[in-house]
Amino acid sequence: MELTSMIATNKDVEFQQICYTVPIRKNFVQEIGRRTLLNGVSGTFRNGELSAIMGPSGAGKSSLLNAISGYRTSGVTGYKKINKRDSCYITQEDHHQPLLTVEELMHVACALKVTSRKSHEVLITEILENLNLNHRRNATAECLSGGERKRLSIALESVANPTIFFLDEPTSGLDEVTASQCIQLLKNLAKSGRTVVCTIHQPSATIFKNFDHIYVLAKGHCVYQGEPKAIIPFLTSIHLDCPKTYSPSDYIIELCDSNEGSLISSLSEITQNGKLEYTQINDNEHTIGTDEDSLALSNYRWKNIITPVYLENSKQSGSLGCIGGGFALLEKMKAFSKRIKQDSDSVSGTRQFLVLLHLMMKKILRNRIALWIQFIHHLMCGLMFGLIFYKAANQGERMFDHLKYCIGCILVIVYTQVMVPILSFPMEVKLVKKEFFNRWYSLTPYYMALTISRLPLQIFFNMIFLSFTYWMSGLPNELWRFMLFSSVGIITSFVAEGMGLAIGATFSITNGSAVGPLLIAPFLGLAIYGFDFAADIPALMYALMKLSYIRVGAVTLVLSVFGFNRPELDCNEMYCHFSDPKVLLRFLRVEKVSIWHEFGFLVLLLLFFRVMLFLSLKKRCRT
């Protein structure tokens, strides 16, 4: 077989021997082996071309895109040459902030990505006009059609003017005409000097013609790489004649999908698993043939598209992106100097924080329905609690009611604050992963903005609930005691929210909604355990109880209600053993507990869950 070779440029994407494996688990826990999704595939996607990764369902198209773009790193090995800082990844699902308009989203993208003094307005109009989205600039993201959302995703990434675009199934869910327009748009992007790589399941003949380069995968192997029009000559050359009524793309996918394992391995051997490309010979290289068919076949040849030096080095080194030798050093130096330039140009962390804080506040305030639901929930809970314990707080004979009141308040706060982020945060994490990967912001500014943006409303809503319960239950008319009581409730709500966010950042909605209550249950059990036999609680159990922030919150609330020399309660019976608050505190074995220590403990738990949240976010964004 005659081979020619070529060198990849800086804007090309080159990869060699990419393997991707995922763990196989027994009972969802124990790893008993690994499943290989990509079997050492190689290839090159060139600048100025629109390349498509094609193949039957489950062939590994998304896996390859994720592996070479760096969107997925765990389980991936091999060698790749890609200017990651100049690339962007557009996911299959178009995650955007639903309540913000196209124009607002573009302004956020500009504020986070563009440091130049060039007017953002001019840039936004230019991009939106190019993508035929200018007429929808005042529409919110949730009102856009599938095609418009896809174009918005491209528009948002275009703000930073990346050279390399990776798109996972950009045409999925679009009708034929819209899909074709979307591919034409990508073709224009490629023509304007970009490297555009997308996955596509089974393109129509019109869409197929628009690609400059096709990379066909089957069962994690590369079975063809080259121009779309070369597929038929390629298949003919190996005696697989595409029927006249078939589209070549359909035919090759059908062949790969036919469970013919030996065919896939033969095709993969011919292409050397992606190291070779089937391409047309230049005019001056034409062989003079005899008949038309042989002339057509002789117009194509296999070309080695892997950088030779790079290939040699790759044999010596073993890890992803680990490139040895002089060539690699040169590449590293170039990348380093470019990085320094880009870093000095990039938006500062403080600015990222301010932009994100503004965005998050806007997002919270726009969600009127959620705001009303939360308002009514806190108001109703406050009124209900107030009515249940109406004027009971000063009755010495109702000791158990006082305890139920304190634990009940903490439970309402904890349940409300834990469940909301468990159900809502997993969606946000997907968006954060994409935006973080595309270098919109760093995690620290995001994390700070997330924490601070939620404070005002959380305090406001908790104050509604706590005010109603405090004043209606008839607790002492002392402002300082009310403030202390509210502070305990608010800090417990922060701990609970931290736990909810940490769970939401780690698990999907389905798993999180099971894990959340599962994790709260022991805290809850420990919170109500032993209040009526406090003096007999074993030491080990006592230590365990300290780990329950619900218990710590309840004890701190009891101390804020009955501590600080609260005067004796009224007694409407002959004898009220607990009318003296000190007796009650002694019975609960908390009379010597310092409220400030308990506060400190709540702060420690708060920090613990917030650190867990940060680590979990970091892990999700970097794997």
Ligand X SMILES: Nc1ncnc2c1ncn2[C@@H]1O[C@H](COP(=O)(O)OP(=O)(O)OP(=O)(O)O)[C@@H](O)[C@H]1O
| Chain residues in the site for ligand X (CB under 6 A) | 22, 35, 37, 55, 57-63, 199, 201
Both structure tokens of 204: 């129509």
Cβ closer to ligand X: 76 or 561? 76
Indicate left, alpha or beta for 226 from its phi (over 0: left) and psi (-120 to 50: alpha). Answer: left
Cβ closer to ligand X: 156 or 252? 252
Q: Shortest Cβ distance from residue 62 to ligand X (Å)? A: 3
Cβ closer to ligand X: 37 or 82? 37
Cβ closer to ligand X: 220 or 226? 220
Q: Shortest Cβ distance from residue 16 to ligand X (Å)? A: 19
Q: Shortest Cβ distance from residue 61 to ligand X (Å)? A: 4
Cβ closer to ligand X: 59 or 155? 59
| CA pair distance 403, 133, nearest whole angstrom | 60
Cβ closer to ligand X: 200 or 554? 200
Q: What dihedral angle (degrees, nearest 10) is formed by the CA atoms of 89, 421, 598, 393?
A: 160
Cβ closer to ligand X: 34 or 341? 34
Q: Shortest Cβ distance from residue 603 to ligand X (Å)? A: 38
- Let me know: does 280 contact 300? Beta carbons within 8 Å: yes
Q: Shortest Cβ distance from residue 451 to ligand X (Å)? A: 31
- Let me know: does 35 contact 332? Beta carbons within 8 Å: no
Cβ closer to ligand X: 18 or 106? 18
Cβ closer to ligand X: 58 or 530? 58
| CA pair distance 159, 109, nearest whole angstrom | 7
Written as one letter, the residue type at 524 is L
Of the candidates 493, 485, 483, 484, which has an alpha carbon nearest to the alpha carbon of residue 461?
493
Of the candidates 483, 467, 478, which has an alpha carbon nearest to the alpha carbon of residue 409?
467
Q: Shortest Cβ distance from residue 275 to ligand X (Å)? A: 21
Q: Shortest Cβ distance from residue 620 to ligand X (Å)? A: 14
Q: Shortest Cβ distance from residue 619 to ligand X (Å)? A: 15
Termini Cα distance of the chain = 40
Q: Shortest Cβ distance from residue 433 to ligand X (Å)? A: 15
Distance of CA 290 to the CA centre of its chain: 59
Contacts 24+ apart (CB under 8 A), 434-441: 434/89, 434/91, 434/95, 436/621, 437/70, 437/71, 437/89, 437/621, 438/88, 438/89, 438/157, 438/160, 439/85, 439/113, 439/160, 439/346, 440/109, 440/112, 440/113, 441/112, 441/347, 441/352, 441/355, 441/356
| CA pair distance 61, 616, nearest whole angstrom | 27
